[in-house]
Structure 1
């Protein structure tokens, strides 16, 4: 079911050749629109929980009762509650020699996201896309609410780790569900629009923070709405592609007939076509590759390492600088809202950019833009200018984030594509785990965090010159095709 195209006599590029599922239900109709609107909702709580640390542990002033000064060690701190009434810093005295625990709880959350991505990714291959998604939603609801009531720091951190696992699970499974219903020529647009609810959730977070100045109430406010997603048990179907892959053909046909009717497509030949397609799959089944296959040949190995570094850099910069914006001087609610708003614009901008400009060019240009803005941030005084620079850096890194999803999909052949995306995604989680500790370097020197954040996109932009362009190139199938891709100046073009 790979994307194939062939140029016509005039040299124009027609639409991609449809696979059988697209032929049956259409590339994008009423049902796909409905499914996107429903499933995209899962990205709101992803943003809530991923970025919650900004308002769970905002920068807070304190004085020691014994010295009437902000000194360390301090066994009797008195906190400034003029903005936030209660934070995890105040609750468990995460200051002085315990200050690192603030970064540690976010790092454990991101580690949970990594584990969740891997665990639920494997579960979705074995048990289907829908059931793991529902399990992840249940964990997110129960653990998110539990986090508001746990009595000590370590319990809170462990529960947040479980929330992180659920976030990783919902991201992986929901994206696959949408992509398996949408036609190939719409996947670049949908993969970008899939990020819009995350941006909107990020924009809503300061609203929750503004009205919920107690961390426990704030945690409840971002967790309770997730209960709505339990309706997925009724609203979201299993994907026909997975059902066909595991020989549950009757269930697949039932779903395809229902979707085809909604999209006003003919249903007469669905059973015959799907049964014939099932037989051809069994006859022509490709041998699956493994992660090791990505390292066995030099070109694939180079592409994987370069792509993984780009994912690590995107996550490192986006989550790190987004959190850093909350530490800048000024109104934390306005700063975060402004940063989130421009990120939404960046997501929307990435759609026409991917249509017109090559993936490689976008990654290189916006990596350098991100690095430049963060270097400027290191040398200018804190204020409106610093928020603007940080926001541009965030949006540049997010544009790269949106593009590398598609870039990675196109860069590797079918037999190792999921493995490559899995390794890249794990690299991204490593970046987001390191980022909180980089922010804490502000205690050493104010300019140090922006410089550290700038170095990686600067290197990533240079590393991307090693990658081939994939825009206008057909999907590869075998390891041999993947190894040869990009070695010659003339590559295969999409039709």
Structure 2
């Protein structure tokens, strides 16, 4: 009788000491990843600013700040000083300026003066991203999101060709080097280029880190990598809030964020390659060494020649992206997952990037976001095992959309209520994202599972790319972004009723298996039942061992 990789994994321990150490080692960088993402919120934070009008102090050095501003800055209709205009400098004496006043205006001629009461500096003040360059902040956020998407595209195929471990290692090294590069950037364009590489490496690590952990973990614990990733992300948000609070200079914050990556670079070279990938590539000797090492760490005894019992080391017939669109069942699953994943991540990022607009202290709000993420993900694991994947997804998306809409039901100056509703909505959307991380692995057959997962990741990266743009629609009305992402969440929740429940179900091995399961009559009309592979992401067959 044949045995799949899942049986071998259970023999060597599918969640022993090795898997726990691996999960801890790969989860620690996921604590650092949100720091890079959420540091965008802090380093891109704007200042209260005005034109530099010190020219008048050369005429009358004893002017108070109030007198200086009244004489040199025009006011808008609301009575506030205009931030991007000033009165044209003149060579009159101070008495003439007071008597006749200056009526002609111009743009800021000598730069800007920034309010440093909250931040000592940010990229806004260092690179003067104000007035005609104010949109550069949105460009930076959007480019960062686009680079994460590109990282998923680059490091996905890279992991298939060179291994999951190489994808993880290269991502970490690039992230460390170019995070330091952002801190040392002399201008906005160098900063943007360095941030772009950070985003690429961010996307590369996220896709490969979870994949590498999942391929070593058994069926019963397959919800752990995704949930633990989000828990460590919550811890990272809390740590970032503290760093940003105590260090108000953005370059210092970037260097502090980069420093723990030096530790990761040291131990990441000790992380073993996925045995599934090694066997799939025909590297049986390397796979044997890794499997025996895992068995030793887990204190499990297995035959030394276990891999010699491979009776068919040829790659099976692999599915292609075409299969996802030619099968009506898979097509329905794919579009439902992509649309739902897109909707919840769009809302999650829109709320996260808008943290400074809720009216409460930005540091406190960020801390609340991080602290509440931890118990929510623990609750999510329990919900997925108790209520199932389908109901957990529907409920979390409905709650996410509902609480986001409640933001519009309270006065704009009620910061506590707005922050409470935004936090609850964001957490619900984050929980839905965790459910889909697991759901996408269980809905699709082994032959095209990674392809479906890649398309799902593409959807969420596009959502991240669009989130800064959606937030800018608030200039027309504050309700527009909220209505967009909350309504999409609620629509996605309804759409998820099309999906089946997959809790405690064996992973489908092929499209034919999935369709036979959906329609048992096929089995009576020539359909072939194949042996299910509980953990199978491999097309290799093994003899049963004792």
TM-score normalised by L of structure 1: 0.90
1:38 aligns with 2:25: yes
- Report SS of the residue matched to 1:60: coil
**For 1:173-322, what aligned pairs fall within 5 Å after superposition?**
173-267=208-302, 269-271=303-305, 273-277=306-310, 279-282=311-314, 285-322=315-352
**For 1:161-176, what aligned pairs fall within 5 Å after superposition?**
161-176=196-211
Question: Relative to 1, partners in 2 of residues 1:485 and 1:205: Cα closer, same or farther, differing over 3 Å?
Answer: farther
Instruction: Check conservation: 2:279, 2:287, Cα contact below 8 A.
Output: yes
Q: Which residue of 1 aligns with 2:406?
A: 376
- Report SS of the residue matched to 1:314: helix
Instruction: Check conservation: 2:445, 2:514, Cα contact below 8 A.
Output: yes
Instruction: Check conservation: 1:326, 1:336, Cα contact below 8 A.
Output: no
Instruction: Check conservation: 2:444, 2:508, Cα contact below 8 A.
Output: yes
1:354 aligns with 2:378: no
Question: Relative to 1, partners in 2 of residues 1:71 and 1:449: Cα closer, same or farther, differing over 3 Å?
Answer: farther
Question: Relative to 1, partners in 2 of residues 1:103 and 1:401: Cα closer, same or farther, differing over 3 Å?
Answer: same
Following superposition, the deviation at residue 72 of structure 1 comes to 4.5
Following superposition, the deviation at residue 432 of structure 1 comes to 0.5
Q: Which residue of 1 aligns with 2:67?
A: none
Following superposition, the deviation at residue 326 of structure 1 comes to 2.5
Question: Relative to 1, partners in 2 of residues 1:231 and 1:39: Cα closer, same or farther, differing over 3 Å?
Answer: same
Report the aligned-residue RMSD. 2.4
Question: Relative to 1, partners in 2 of residues 1:145 and 1:172: Cα closer, same or farther, differing over 3 Å?
Answer: same
Following superposition, the deviation at residue 475 of structure 1 comes to 1.4
1:323 aligns with 2:356: no
- Report SS of the residue matched to 1:63: strand
1:48 counterpart (35, 40, 46): 35
Paired with 2:533 and 2:316, the residues of 1 have a C-alpha distance of 22
Q: Select between 249-258 and 162-171 the one with higher mean Cα deviation.
A: 249-258
Following superposition, the deviation at residue 219 of structure 1 comes to 1.3
1:123 aligns with 2:158: yes
Instruction: Check conservation: 1:368, 1:461, Cα contact below 8 A.
Output: yes
Paired with 2:519 and 2:428, the residues of 1 have a C-alpha distance of 29
Paired with 1:482 and 1:312, the residues of 2 have a C-alpha distance of 25
Following superposition, the deviation at residue 276 of structure 1 comes to 1.6
Paired with 1:418 and 1:25, the residues of 2 have a C-alpha distance of 25
Following superposition, the deviation at residue 353 of structure 1 comes to 0.4
Question: Relative to 1, partners in 2 of residues 1:276 and 1:494: Cα closer, same or farther, differing over 3 Å?
Answer: closer
Q: Deviations over 1:179-201 (max 9, x none)?
A: 12211211123331232111111
Paired with 1:227 and 1:457, the residues of 2 have a C-alpha distance of 39
Gaps of 5+ in 1: 5-16
Q: Select between 94-103 and 123-132 the one with higher mean Cα deviation.
A: 94-103
Count of residue pairs the alignment pairs up: 475
- Report SS of the residue matched to 1:194: helix
Following superposition, the deviation at residue 58 of structure 1 comes to 2.0
Following superposition, the deviation at residue 233 of structure 1 comes to 4.6
Following superposition, the deviation at residue 93 of structure 1 comes to 2.6
TM-score normalised by L of structure 2: 0.82
Rg (Cα) greater in structure: 2
Instruction: Check conservation: 2:227, 2:381, Cα contact below 8 A.
Output: yes
Question: Relative to 1, partners in 2 of residues 1:376 and 1:59: Cα closer, same or farther, differing over 3 Å?
Answer: farther
